[in-house]
Amino acid sequence: MKSVCVFCGSSDGARPVYADAAKAFGRALVAAGLTLVYGGGKVGLMGVIADTVMAEGGRAVGVIPELLVDKEVGHKGLSELHVVPDMHQRKKMMADLADAFVAMPGGAGTLEELFEVYTWAQLGYHHKAVALYNIDGFYDPLIALLRHTVHEGFMRQTYFDILQIDADPAALIGRLRAYQPPVQDKWAQKRDEV
């Protein structure tokens, strides 16, 4: 594993704990010798983690659509900044550049990016780790919802278990490195076997 794609908010959030944790994760990435791949913005948690990685002497690669260069204030101080035509190209390039995916706190865009790569993992389009950086329990309601989908028969436990979850940066990186994708093919069993 050489690079980690981090999905996160273009806002700092309501409490300082989120920015503090973004800094901690940025430092952990650099300490582990991992490149940050992210959405290319200079604002919010995106800017916090990118600035931290760069300040610590690490490598940060941003991917930002033309439309958002001004809105998200495209970060000019990165190792690389790729400006792409649209969101589809952004997500594809970030996925291609990354060896694992981590969702930090964020809004609808962060969740959409998370669920796309999580679905791809379930379907076998990639075999990369997908994780939640569960800062101060931010993702607890989402985790409860996903457990509910398993309980109600809409997702197998195997696919819930794809999602790596931790609140400690170093431990989360350890989970990413140790991740083994499920060997079960989503479509190999009968649809009524949940």
Instruction: Determine the Cα–Cα distance for residues 146 and 144; give it in Å rounded to an integer.
Output: 5
Judge contact between 145 and 134, C-beta under 8 A: no
| Residue 52: CATH number of its domain | 3.40.50.450
For the chain, the straight-line distance linking the first and the last C-alpha, in angstroms and rounded, comes to: 32
The stretches in the chain having pLDDT less than 50 are 191-192, 194
State the pLDDT at residue 194: 46
Question: Which amino acid, 67?
Answer: L
Asked if residue 52 is part of any domain, the answer here is yes
Supply 77's token pair.
Answer: 């101080």
Compute, in degrees rounded to 10, the torsion defined by CA atoms 43, 48, 53, 56. 130
Strands 3-7 and 60-65: unpaired
The domain in which residue 98 lies consists of: 3-178
Q: What's this model's pTM, rounded to 2 decimal places?
A: 0.93
State the pLDDT at residue 187: 55
State the pLDDT at residue 30: 98
Domain total in the chain: 1
